Amino acid sequence: MSLLIMKPGLLTTVQDLGRYGYQQYGVIAGGAMDSYALRMANLLVGNDEREAGLEMTVTGPEITFAEPSLISICGGGLSPMLGEYPLPLWRTVYAPKGARLHFGRLSDGCRAYLAVAGGIAVPVQLNSRSTYLRAGIGGHQGRTLRSGDVLPIGTPTLRGNLWTEMLTREQGPESLSVSRWFPAYSLIPSYPETPVLRVIAGEEFLAFSEESRERFLSELFTILPQSDRMGYRLSGSSLSLVREQSLISSAVTFGTVQVPAGGNPIILMADRQTTGGYPKLAQVITADLPLLAQAKIGSAVRFRLITLQEAQKQLLQQELELRRLRLVLEHYHNG
């Protein structure tokens, strides 16, 4: 089983949920920028949600399926087409042998995730299949995909095979088929043009001037073109500390909002470094990281302060909903 990359798109990499356990050695966690969309895509093809898929950014790739494949695309609206048919997102799709997946205009969000039943079976390195570009490890040869790449696909689960059987029952194995089932609307996020990101106060929150804190929580900040998978650089009001202080480097994480001396905040993203020494103003809550990951360069974001207790409640709720969906899907064998 394999996928053939005909055109790579703007930035297409193999990602799973990240490389955990090695940050103490300076090895970044990485993983999907929008892990919610990847998890959902995996669940919809019967995979374990930790399987690797493709992260496709702004301009999608062109892919040929060497064998019949059960696929799902979740996340940003990159307008996928299978041959001449537009594909809905957040569905299970049966792609016949030789089918050609390509993408059109960007409607909302900026990253889509392709999961294939069986998962993208590139070698596991340091406990993950995620591409770590700077170290050249993980993913497909440690790099972004190129035309001509052939990606191996693993063995679908029993559930994946049953769904393939269900989807081919009416039209036969030669035709494209889209599932009638899909997750509840409440589980499908929308990606607003100007998202409001909930944050909790960071360790140095009170070291910032009151004026800076108020501006951070009331004004719009624009995502600058220098932003990437490592960090989003923002421009807006300049934020400053009550007095300059030098900090000892310590751990930073996905969503940490740090402010270097220049005053423009940087939000650390999936490929963040493991430790940092800039003051931590705030932390985007984990439940809102997908909205941030789908915010494109040039768009604006706004911040709203909530408590840690509320942030953890939101996260637990999201996890419980996904768990419920997983249970439902595990028992969905005849429909």
Partner 1 sequence: MAETTDDSEFMPQAPVNHGAARIVPLGDSAAIVILGDSISPQIHNRVRALCRYLEHHPFTGMTELVPSFTSIAVYYDGLGVLKAYQEYIRLGEECYPFLVVAALLEKILSLVESELPLQPRTVRIPVYYGGEAGPDLEFVARQNDLSPQEVIGIHSSAEYLVYMLGFAPGFPYLGGLPSSISTPRRLSPRVAIPAGSVGIAGDQAGVYPLETPGGWQLIGRTPISLFKPEAVPPTLLQAGDIVRFYPITRREFIEWGEDTP
Interface with partner 1 by CB under 8 A: which residues?
20-28, 125-126, 134-135, 137, 200-203, 205-206, 210, 213-214, 217-218, 248-256, 273-275, 283-286, 302, 304-309, 311-313, 315-316, 319-320
CB 110 within 8 A of CB 76: yes
Q: Rounded to an integer, what distance in angstroms lies between the CA atom of residue 232 and that of residue 307?
A: 23
What's the Rg (C-alpha) of the chain?
Answer: 20
Query: What is the closest distance, in whole angstroms, from the C-beta atom of residue 83 to partner 1 in the complex?
Result: 39
Q: Rounded to an integer, what distance in angstroms lies between the CA atom of residue 22 and that of residue 163?
A: 36
The span from the first CA to the last CA of the chain, in angstroms, equals: 27
Q: Check residue 12 and give left, alpha or beta (phi > 0: left; psi -120 to 50: alpha).
A: beta
Q: In the complex with partner 1, which residue's Cβ is closer, 7 or 302? A: 302
CB 194 within 8 A of CB 302: yes
Query: What is the closest distance, in whole angstroms, from the C-beta atom of residue 277 to partner 1 in the complex?
Result: 10
Would you call 288 helix, strand, or coil by DSSP? helix
Query: What is the closest distance, in whole angstroms, from the C-beta atom of residue 35 to partner 1 in the complex?
Result: 12
Q: In the complex with partner 1, which residue's Cβ is closer, 107 or 275? A: 275
Structure tokens at 318: 């999201």
Query: What is the closest distance, in whole angstroms, from the C-beta atom of residue 283 to partner 1 in the complex?
Result: 4
Structure tokens at 126: 């340091």
Query: What is the closest distance, in whole angstroms, from the C-beta atom of residue 315 to partner 1 in the complex?
Result: 6
Q: In the complex with partner 1, which residue's Cβ is closer, 205 or 232? A: 205
Handedness of CA 16, 22, 24, 25 (dihedral sign): negative
Query: What is the closest distance, in whole angstroms, from the C-beta atom of residue 68 to partner 1 in the complex?
Result: 35
Q: In the complex with partner 1, which residue's Cβ is closer, 171 or 275? A: 275
The DSSP 8-state label assigned to residue 169 in this structure reads: T
Query: What is the closest distance, in whole angstroms, from the C-beta atom of residue 162 to partner 1 in the complex?
Result: 28
Q: In the complex with partner 1, which residue's Cβ is closer, 143 or 313? A: 313
Q: In the complex with partner 1, which residue's Cβ is closer, 73 or 311? A: 311
- Compute the CA torsion angle 184, 189, 192, 194 (nearest 10 deg): 140
Nearest CA-CA partner of 40 in 333, 330, 325? 325
Nearest CA-CA partner of 224 in 297, 281, 314? 297
Q: In the complex with partner 1, which residue's Cβ is closer, 111 or 272? A: 272
